[in-house]
C-alpha cells in the first residue's frame, strides 16, 4: 500500500517533469526561430550570420538534449554538456567582437582540423590496398571542404581557432566571470580531472589494515532539476547576448523565464502537499 502510494507520487512528479520539459523544448525552438527570422541578412557578412546562427542552434540543441534526458541531470553527465554550452557562449561572445574577421577564423580553423584528420586517416593506410568504402568517405569529406571554396586557404592550425586561450577570449569578450565560475568547474568533469574524479569516483577504503586510501566508486546519481535550470540559463544567456549585439527582438516569450515560473509553481505545490494537515 505504502509502495503503491509512493509509486503514484513518483508518477505524478514524472508527469510534471515531462510537461515542463515539453514546454521548454518548444519554447526554446521558437525563441531561436523568432530571432533568426527577425535578423536581416547582411550579404557582406554571410559567414557571420552562418556562424552565429549555427552556434545559437547548437546551444539550443544542447539545452534540448539536457532537458529531454532527466537521467543525465546529475554531476556525472550534465557538466560535460554544460561545459560544451559554456564553450558555445564564450565563442559567440568573442565572435561578436569582430563580425568580419572572427567567423572566418572559426570556419577556417574547423576546416583545417578536418584536413588534418583526413591526413591522419590516409597515413594509417600505409601500403594496404585501397578500401573502396574508405576511399569514398575521404573523397566525400574532401568534396565537402572544397564545396566551401576555401580548400587552398585551409592551413592546418594546431593551436586554438582564436589563436588565444579561452580565458583570454572570455576576458576580451567581457565574460571572464562566466569563464571562472562556469567554464572552469565544468571542465573538471568534462576532462575527468582530479577535482571531479576524487569527489565522484573514489571513496575511502574501509579496511582497517590499510592506511587511509581511496578506492574506485561508481556513484548512484539522482535526478536534480538544477541541471535543467543551468542549461536553460546558458541558453537564455546566449539569446540575450544575441539580442544585445544585433538589436533583434524575439516575438516569443523566454523559455528560461517560463521554466523558472514552472519551477516556482512546482515548489509551491510541493510545499502545500507537505504542509501539516490541520
214 binds Zn ion (CB under 5 A): no
Residue 51 near residue 107 (C-beta atoms within 8 A): yes
| Euclidean distance between the first and the last CA atom of the chain, given in angstroms as a whole number | 24
Buried b (16+ CB within 10 A) or exposed e, 48-65: bbebbbebbebbbbbbbe
Find the shortest distance in angstroms from Cβ 64 to Zn ion.
43
Find the shortest distance in angstroms from Cβ 210 to Zn ion.
3
Closer of 213 and 278 to Zn ion (Cβ): 213
Return d(Cα 150, Cα 142) in angstroms, integer. 11
Return d(Cα 31, Cα 250) in angstroms, integer. 7
Cell 567581457 belongs to 174
Find the shortest distance in angstroms from Cβ 206 to Zn ion.
7
Closer of 25 and 202 to Zn ion (Cβ): 202
Closer of 3 and 207 to Zn ion (Cβ): 207
Return d(Cα 242, Cα 240) in angstroms, integer. 5
Find the shortest distance in angstroms from Cβ 217 to Zn ion.
12
Find the shortest distance in angstroms from Cβ 198 to Zn ion.
16
**What is the total count of residues that contact Zn ion (CB under 5 A)?**
3
* Among the listed residues 97, 82, 113, the one whose alpha carbon sits nearest the alpha carbon of residue 48: 97
Buried b (16+ CB within 10 A) or exposed e, 240-259: ebbeeebebebeeebbbebb
Q: What angle do CA 60, 78, 74 make, to 5 degrees?
A: 140
Find the shortest distance in angstroms from Cβ 221 to Zn ion.
24
Closer of 127 and 206 to Zn ion (Cβ): 206
Residue whose beta carbon is closest to Zn ion: 205
Find the shortest distance in angstroms from Cβ 212 to Zn ion.
9
Closer of 159 and 216 to Zn ion (Cβ): 216
Closer of 147 and 207 to Zn ion (Cβ): 207
Per-residue CA distances from 84 to 40, 51, 188 (Å): 28, 16, 12
Assigned C-alpha cell, 183: 567554464
Closer of 19 and 210 to Zn ion (Cβ): 210
Closer of 115 and 203 to Zn ion (Cβ): 203
Find the shortest distance in angstroms from Cβ 49 to Zn ion.
58
* Interaction mask 181-210, Zn ion, x per CB under 5 A: ------------------------x-x--x
* Interaction mask 33-72, Zn ion, x per CB under 5 A: ----------------------------------------
Task: Return the H-helix or E-strand segment holding 215.
Answer: strand 214-216
- Contacts with Zn ion in 117-156 (CB under 5 A)? none
Maximum separation of any 2 CA atoms in the chain, in Å? 83
Using CB under 5 A, list all residues that contact Zn ion.
Answer: 205, 207, 210
Amino acid at each position: 500500500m505504502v509502495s503503491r502510494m509512493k509509486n503514484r507520487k513518483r508518477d505524478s512528479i514524472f508527469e510534471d517533469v515531462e510537461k515542463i520539459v515539453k514546454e521548454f523544448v518548444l519554447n526554446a525552438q521558437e525563441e531561436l526561430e523568432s530571432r533568426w527570422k527577425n535578423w536581416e541578412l547582411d550579404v557582406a557578412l554571410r559567414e557571420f550570420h552562418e556562424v552565429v546562427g549555427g552556434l545559437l542552434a547548437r546551444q539550443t540543441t544542447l539545452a534540448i538534449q539536457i532537458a529531454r534526458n532527466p537521467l543525465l541531470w546529475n554531476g556525472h553527465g550534465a557538466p560535460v554538456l554544460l561545459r560544451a554550452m559554456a564553450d558555445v557562449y564564450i565563442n559567440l561572445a568573442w565572435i561578436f567582437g569582430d563580425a568580419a574577421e572572427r567567423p572566418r577564423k572559426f570556419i577556417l580553423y574547423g576546416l583545417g582540423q578536418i584536413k588534418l584528420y583526413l591526413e591522419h586517416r590516409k597515413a594509417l593506410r600505409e601500403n594496404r590496398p585501397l578500401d573502396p568504402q574508405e576511399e569514398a568517405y575521404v573523397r566525400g569529406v574532401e568534396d565537402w571542404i572544397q564545396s566551401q571554396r576555401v580548400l587552398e586557404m585551409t592551413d592546418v592550425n594546431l593551436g586554438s581557432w582564436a589563436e588565444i586561450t579561452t580565458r583570454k577570449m572570455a576576458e576580451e569578450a567581457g565574460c571572464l566571470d562566466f569563464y571562472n565560475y562556469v567554464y572552469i568547474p565544468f571542465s573538471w568533469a568534462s576532462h575527468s580531472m582530479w577535482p571531479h574524479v576524487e569527489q565522484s569516483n573514489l571513496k575511502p577504503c574501509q579496511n582497517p589494515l590499510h592506511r587511509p586510501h581511496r578506492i574506485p566508486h561508481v556513484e548512484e546519481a539522482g535526478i536534480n532539476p538544477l541541471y535543467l535550470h543551468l542549461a536553460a540559463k546558458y541558453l537564455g544567456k546566449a539569446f540575450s547576448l544575441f539580442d544585445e549585439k544585433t538589436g533583434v527582438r524575439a516575438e516569443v516569450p523566454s523559455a528560461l523565464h517560463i521554466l523558472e515560473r514552472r519551477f516556482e509553481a512546482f515548489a509551491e505545490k510541493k510545499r502545500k502537499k507537505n504542509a501539516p494537515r490541520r
